[in-house]
């Protein structure tokens, strides 16, 4: 490195040639900066609304209250079997109301919660659709 400096810079300086000046820092355009900041703020707000609309399930995993089974009976109405501690409740859920339908004396057995993969679910849906036609 030292050899490079002595072989190139010293002869230039001795010849009276000057080194190129360092480039001036670019000007900051306040309009572009403000627009970029507003874009980031808007992106954060849009993502917050999307996450709120997704209604993510409770990630705490509270085991004292579980939905065992639910059956839709209308567009926005369904009947839900809920496990609360040792008791099971049959609840009717509508858009504006939740009603206790029955308290089960003998709890039903909890079905095995197996999650089939996407391919098998899609195949089952396609098979049902083909059978309807």
Could you tell me the residue ranges of all domains in the chain?
A: 1-55, 65-104
CB contact set of 120 (below 8 Å; sequence gap of 6+): none
- Give CA torsion, residues 55, 59, 65, 67, to 10 deg: 50
Rounded to whole angstroms, the Cα distance separating 89 from 78 reads 14
Q: pLDDT of the chain along its 133 residues, tens only?
A: 555 555 665 665 565 555 555 666 677 788 999 999 999 999 999 999 888 888 766 555 556 788 888 899 999 899 999 988 888 999 999 999 999 999 988 888 776 555 667 777 778 878 876 776 6
- What is the value of pTM for the model shown? 0.41
User: Could you tell me the maximum CA-CA distance found in the chain, to the nearest angstrom?
Assistant: 104
């Amino acid at each position: 490195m030292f050899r490079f400096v002595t072989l190139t810079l010293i002869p230039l300086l001795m010849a009276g040639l000057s080194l190129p000046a360092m480039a001036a820092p670019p000007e900051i355009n306040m309009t572009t900066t403000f627009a970029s900041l507003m874009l980031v703020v808007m992106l954060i707000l849009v993502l917050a609304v999307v996450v709120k609309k997704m209604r993510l399930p409770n990630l705490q995993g509270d085991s004292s209250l579980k939905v065992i089974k639910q059956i839709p009976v209308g567009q926005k109405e369904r009947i839900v079997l809920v496990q609360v501690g040792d008791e099971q409740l049959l609840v009717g859920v509508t858009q504006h109301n939740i009603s206790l339908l029955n308290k089960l004396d003998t709890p039903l057995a909890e079905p095995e919660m197996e999650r089939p993969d996407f391919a098998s679910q899609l195949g089952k849906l396609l098979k049902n659709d083909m059978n309807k036609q």
